[in-house]
Structure 1
Amino acid sequence: MPDQDQQPVVWAPGTHELGEGARWVDGRLVFTDILAGRLLEVSGTAPGTPRELLRLDVPLGAVAPVEGRPGHWIAAAGTGIALLGPDGSTEWLARPEQDAATPVRMNDGVCDPQGRFWAGSMAYDETPGAGSLYRTDHDGTVHRVLTGLTIVNGPAFSADGRLLHVADSTAGVIRRCTLDADGNPLDMVEFARITDGGSPDGMTVDTEGRLWVAIWGSAAVHRYEPDGTLSAVVPLPAPQPTSVCLPPTGGRLLVTTARLGLPGAPPPSGAVLAVPVDAAAPAAAAYRPR
């Protein structure tokens, strides 16, 4: 739980329309402003103004570092998965949503502990069932793993990579499945359901196996025990939290927020917030190309 005597503070000021993809990489926080196609970073040790690392001419949902290639990223961007260079150069691995029946973009994404990149998609108009979850393997091939979702968020993995948590935000449901060694789902169960009108968005698993979830529309982050029990609610001064990050050093929950659909919303909507908590999580896993 957060320290009740300490309130959330602004860690990185900004008016990002759709901040997302908060990840701990090399001792700093990296995150995206999706619709602006921007990748940003801010210090992991003290609040500060975010710095732009690169900018694309398509939406940029989330990134993961590429192992052994400093400054390079694998990204959920536009209609597919791409490798990005430090200068923003783009090598597309696949664009599976390029010819979708309704316009679709990539959304959230993360690497599992095995070094595979997972990312979800969603229709711009939130057409029910138009979203999918994709897995990018070490050889760069992209596979559609789950279909029939609407707004795919997460995913988040257990420490051994065997358990996958994924949110279908529109349905208000977080599901969990067991994966085989190749990353194929063996089962799918409902892990948690949001009943207060909010929607589950970005999430992460801490070192105790608890799932922390940004709840869009509810100005809160939820913490769930491994059995799905809701064990903590962290209130925030912004209505649309989008993703969460727990540094490996612990002591702090970092939360990206959005101003999308909130014209004239006052700060801190669109900023990155920090809340004191007694929890930690591993740094972002890197993509390991073959």
Structure 2
Amino acid sequence: MSTAHLDVAVPERAELGEGPTWDPATGRVVWVDIVAARVHTYDPATGRRTVMATEQHVGAAKPRAGGGLVVNLRDGIGLYDPDGAFRWLVHDPVPGRRGNDAAVAPDGSLWAGTMRYDGAEGGGGLARVAADGAVTPVPTPVSCGNGVGWSPDGRLMYFVDTPTRRIDVFDLDGGHTVNRRPFATIEEGAGFPDGLTVDAEGAVWVALWDGA
């Protein structure tokens, strides 16, 4: 089997680096250092980097259509405007729980995962957050809500709950998830599924923590 060649995009140290996202509007890569409470950006055209401190531990940062960022924080979903001003969209603190990975759906909603700091089974969740702050929890057991992605036709949603070692798939019915089932299982010793994205041809790419 051939081995892909990997290049280091940004030689940046992090305590818990996660969630690289390309922002086509600004031509930058955005990613987070969760426990350091930092959002990083990198512009490959100019080499410019920025680092922004967040209010709390930050599980994900995604570009907003009007500029700025939406962030999945310890106590809920926050919004940063282009000028850096912060406000809460959803403030829902739960002791011992924090926001984890998140992704923006084709309809512009944010799907945000949570997990407990102690990793307790069933202590996490997954929810759809609309632009007006309305939250629709996904009624399914979750321990560590992680990578989320959608098929190109918008009919399927892929989801990682890391401790299960699976990538699961839901059918989407009017924006609601139904029929959760295994899509792929990561064999023991190969790592744990973490971040996820779906390419234009519908192939699912998964980053394996402690793997490849």
Cα separation, 2, equivalents of 1:8 and 1:88: 34
TM-score computed with the length of structure 1 as normaliser:
0.67
Structure 2 match to 1:187: 179
How many Å separate the matches in 2 of 1:88 and 1:126? 32
Q: Which runs of 5+ in 1 are unaligned?
A: 221-290
* Higher deviation after alignment, 154-163 or 103-112: 154-163
Give distance in 1, aligned partners of 2:117 and 2:84: 24
Pair 1:81 & 2:81 matched: no
Kept in 2, the 8 Å contact 1:12–1:50? The answer is: no
Divergent runs of 4+, >4 A:
none
Cα shift at 1:139: 2.4
In 1: Cα distance, 2:45 partner to 2:83 partner: 26
Match of 1:154 among 147, 151, 159: 147
2: CA distance between counterparts of 1:160 and 1:139? 25
Q: Hey, what's the Cα distance between the residues in 2 that align with 1:193 and 1:95?
A: 34
Instruction: State the shift of 1:141 in Å.
Output: 1.0
Task: Find the aligned partners of 2:112 and 2:126 in 1 and give their Cα distance.
Answer: 6
Q: Which residue of 1 aligns with 2:33?
A: 33
SS of the aligned residue for 2:35 comes to helix
Structure 2 gaps, min length 5: none
In structure 2, the residue corresponding to 1:170 is in which secondary structure?
helix
For residue 42 of structure 1, what is the aligned residue in structure 2? 42
Partner of 2:196: 203
Deviations 1:123-177 (A, max 9, x none): 0010000010011113221221144211111111112332111111011111100
State the alpha-carbon separation in 1 of the partners of residues 45 and 184 from structure 2: 33
What residue is the counterpart of 1:287 in the other structure? none
Number of the residue aligned with 1:235 = none
Identity %: 37
Give the Å deviation of 1:112.
Answer: 0.6
Please give the alpha-carbon distance, in whole angstroms, between the structure 2 residues aligned to 1:122 and 1:179. Answer: 23
* Aligned residue in 1 for 2:58: 60
Shift of the 99–61 alpha-carbon distance from structure 1 to 2, 3 Å rule, reads closer
Structure 1 match to 2:158:
165
Q: Which amino acid in the other structure matches residue 25 of structure 1?
A: D
Higher relative contact order (CA 8 A, sep 6+): 1
Q: Answer whether contact 1:56 1:88 (CA < 8 A) is retained.
A: no
Q: Within 5 Å, give how 1:228-243 maps onto structure 2.
A: none
SS of equivalent residue, structure 1 residue 215: strand
> Are 1:113 and 1:160, in contact at CA under 8 Å, matched by a contact in 2?
no
**Please, what TM-score do these two structures have when normalized by structure 2?**
0.90
Contact 1:204 1:213 survives alignment (8 Å): yes
Partner AA of 2:181 in structure 1: V
Q: 1:87 Cα shift?
A: 4.8
Deviation string 1:56-103 (CA, Å, 9 cap, x unpaired) is 131111122222x22x1111112211111245432112233x135xx0
The residue type equivalent to 1:99 in the other structure is V
Q: How big is the shift at 1:45?
A: 4.8
Q: Paired residue for 2:169?
A: 176
